[in-house]
Structure 1
């Protein structure tokens, strides 16, 4: 994990940090809040392209929060919806006497300032973020009773690499947006170069992934890739190219689970080892039985010795059959000997609850303790009830997910879905089991379903890609992972710049804290000499 970048950064970070600290004190950005699916859907109803007006001062979405109290908008109070050009902003009388709207003002002195300032800011955020994550992992290990290593090298490992990565990411993207705004922005939407500046900035900024160690790139690439796919689907659905329907997130979860569980049973080496270990712990049956299930569906001999050790612990009769004679036994004799299917499913579910509870307890409690400790003092009952509700809901989901997967394969064998009857078509049973397991996501909150689906989709894509690459069906060349990340980031940045309503509110709120966009370059200029110094400096939110 300790990949080296020997050359130190020399971008006058101290000066840039001091200047940015002043800006941060003026931002007053609201906290990210989780919105209901109904609110998200309302934002997606009006999804026409935001009309890019010339830099004449008509856009007001870039006005900082402290100035929004000094004017009023016409219409309803839904201020999150972007206003169309036909709707004009009306200032009250007192406000118009004191302020006048002015055209675009620069955030930076020049291109070099835009690049170096964002590199310095990104380096600090990337470095500090990686250190915080490493410390958090050690804290989770402590809570779960595992070995804790607080060695300085462990806490700081790869932190510098991530700092350089995020610094270059911000510097390249925001630098290109700054430079092209003046050159291409004057042509408006008539210029294709102006319309697709986000694509260009995101694509070139993806080169920064080269500074991340190779063994750490895959999670970043998969995270960006699946969210780029989500945005592409949303934009295609807006144009009517693909259907858009209720519970599409659950369908995606089922399809992704079908592929992932199939890979887990028949090609576990294609998945991330940590994820395979997680599934092996959560599955409600011992691993020798899981291996026997996969071998039976593939028509391969099973390990009688390993199964008999498990059966001896369960105090059931040992197997005396040939390793290929499993189809002569009753359908559930290998997986749940001495138990009916219903009893096996119930026991598996209860066992899964015990295993899943330690997983989700820190996931829901740590954020409250670290980021919202005052809520425990101001509203302890409400905070604890919401936290425990989330823990129980997610625990039941994971337990039901795992129990359904194993039980469905056993049930399908009772209906004749075996290698003896279907040959290689018996491989379909893990896919069907995964699809049924994905339906368990209906237990989760609507706002969490898409995140679960995208997470499992990332694992499914990872497994299938590696399998196809091993089979020689996909080109495998140096730098392919970088190209995938560059393409994914270009889609995300284009959506952020041109189709902001396609982004979910939580992600859009995060991107607004770091990345540049056109609708943040119009400010209110004060005519009051006492306030002129404050309003003319602008705020660096890019």
Structure 2
């Protein structure tokens, strides 16, 4: 049966073969209908879909807002909970003097609740705005006539909901990351295009994600050692924890790499003495290996650091795997909880190994290069941190592109911050919230691909998007609110 025009509902004319007195009962019409479901590759938001009349539009808007809020608050709240628990555990192990300097537990909880509500409102408003614009444009312009551009417009209008996370809070890294996700989807569309397929063919390189990670590592880890101010505060805190080195050690490496005279060798020696290592540093040293790992050899330091880094990485990835499992696999948890939890634990162990190997190899590669060339400078720090990205090969293929894009977003932000600090990029005074503009453009592209080019998404992402945005079902199917 061909699709009807806007405003028309196809009517089944076949006689019913069941025992129902009606000749065309809804069950038989649904069975005989060839209409796609909401999870099929044919998007019901696109111009190829069947027109939909029989569903509650207000209910779709309401449920999309609630589900968006649930995901935003759940993700942010879950991560905040694990962060609070980790901070409390760390607080117990500190001396009383250091405890007084830390923020109290009640203040942590209040801040976490505020952030949870803000991110819930952000995603809830985004989902509600997108669905509202989608429904309004459909009602005014028709379902099929507006299908090619409706999601693009709705995604762009919903983008400024990012401001709900804080009007004075910049989210440059998030905006760049979403932009790169949009670029990936656009490139996938280009790859399958006859017109642009040959241009986008290099993007199909099997190990492009690892190369991207190596590029990102050069900037991120160089900034971690040489210029931490170019990194966002939260990410800088993450690197300082996972990097496993005290600030005085990083300062010593930074001074020798930049050619500055040492100013804190005594502080470094005191730091090692506090850990039970009595060491005397040479002010004329050319290679900072003794600063990085004291009296240990580079090989022994790699092994010991790897074990310590693995313990630090486990709490990072537990919420990363646990929280999405509760959202994405919420139905499967009731049927096979042990299987899903086992996969989550295995993924946690594997990702923790990646992060610990990444941090350990960063010091290993730099030490190796310093010893081979018997010198330390800024270009060598950049080159030494490049092969660190090879650790991404430990992760499973489906996660590599996610991690590499996330790190590339951080690297791009750090790079342009460094360029602006040295005067190569004058700071713009007209556009204060460029992150919102970039985010809106990115969400417009992503939602357009979601509506028109659904096959460029992975199925798990489509399932979540369909669940949140409540894609209208075709006639004779269950509506988002009620059954016929």
Could you state the TM-score of these two structures normalised by the residue count of structure 2? 0.74
Q: Give the one of 300, 322, 326 matched to 2:285.
A: 326
Could you say what secondary structure the match of 1:180 adopts?
helix
State the distance in 2 between where 1:490 and 1:370 align: 24
Is the Cα–Cα contact under 8 Å of residues 468 and 474 in structure 1 kept in the other structure? no
Is the Cα–Cα contact under 8 Å of residues 122 and 166 in structure 1 kept in the other structure? no
Q: Is 1:305 aligned to residue 266 of structure 2? A: yes
Could you say what secondary structure the match of 2:182 adopts?
helix
State the distance in 1 between where 2:61 and 2:137 align: 18
Structure 1 residue 229 displacement after superposition: 2.7
Q: Is 1:502 aligned to residue 462 of structure 2? A: no
Structure 1 residue 174 displacement after superposition: 2.5
* 1:272 aligned residue: 232
State the distance in 2 between where 1:447 and 1:265 align: 30
* 2:256 aligned residue: 296
Structure 1 residue 500 displacement after superposition: 1.0
* 1:63 aligned residue: none
* 2:81 aligned residue: 138
Q: Is 1:431 aligned to residue 382 of structure 2? A: yes
Structure 1 residue 162 displacement after superposition: 4.7
Q: Give the one of 399, 410, 416 matched to 2:367.
A: 410
CA deviations 1:55-76 (Å, max 9, x no partner) are 5779xxxxxxx999824879xx
Alignment of 1:60-459 (within 5 A): 70-71=31-32, 80-82=40-42, 103-105=51-53, 107-108=55-56, 114=57, 120-125=62-67, 127-129=69-71, 131-133=73-75, 135-136=77-78, 137-138=80-81, 141-142=84-85, 145-146=88-89, 148-149=105-106, 154=111, 156-157=113-114, 161-162=118-119, 165-181=122-138, 195-216=148-169, 218=171, 220-238=174-192, 239-240=196-197, 241-242=199-200, 243=202, 244-302=204-262, 303-312=264-273, 313=275, 315-321=277-283, 325-327=284-286, 332-361=289-318, 363-364=320-321, 382=339, 385-416=342-373, 418=375, 426-459=377-410
Do the aligned partners of residues 149 and 104 (structure 1) sit closer, same or farther apart at CA in structure 2, a change above 3 Å counting?
Answer: same
Do the aligned partners of residues 71 and 296 (structure 1) sit closer, same or farther apart at CA in structure 2, a change above 3 Å counting?
Answer: farther
CA deviations 1:136-190 (Å, max 9, x no partner) are 32355336644754998556525665565445433442333234346655775xx
Alignment of 1:17-32 (within 5 A): none
Could you say what secondary structure the match of 1:523 adopts?
coil
Q: Give the one of 406, 423, 445 matched to 1:491.
A: 445
Do the aligned partners of residues 139 and 381 (structure 1) sit closer, same or farther apart at CA in structure 2, a change above 3 Å counting?
Answer: closer
Structure 1 residue 233 displacement after superposition: 3.0
Is the Cα–Cα contact under 8 Å of residues 217 and 388 in structure 2 kept in the other structure? yes
Is the Cα–Cα contact under 8 Å of residues 225 and 254 in structure 2 kept in the other structure? yes
State the distance in 1 between where 2:299 and 2:183 align: 39
Structure 1 residue 205 displacement after superposition: 1.9
Do the aligned partners of residues 374 and 487 (structure 1) sit closer, same or farther apart at CA in structure 2, a change above 3 Å counting?
Answer: closer
State the distance in 2 between where 1:68 and 1:444 align: 47
Is the Cα–Cα contact under 8 Å of residues 417 and 429 in structure 1 kept in the other structure? no
Aligned CA-pair RMSD: 4.1
Structure 1 residue 504 displacement after superposition: 2.4
Alignment of 1:513-528 (within 5 A): 513-515=467-469, 520=472, 522-524=474-476
Could you state the TM-score of these two structures normalised by the residue count of structure 1? 0.67
Is the Cα–Cα contact under 8 Å of residues 72 and 123 in structure 2 kept in the other structure? no
Q: Is 1:511 aligned to residue 465 of structure 2? A: yes
Could you say what secondary structure the match of 1:326 adopts?
coil
Q: Mind listing any 5+ residue stretches in structure 2 that lack a counterpart? A: 11-26, 90-103
Is the Cα–Cα contact under 8 Å of residues 142 and 148 in structure 1 kept in the other structure? no
State the distance in 1 between where 2:210 and 2:154 align: 33
State the distance in 2 between where 1:128 and 1:233 align: 31
Could you say what secondary structure the match of 2:432 adopts?
coil
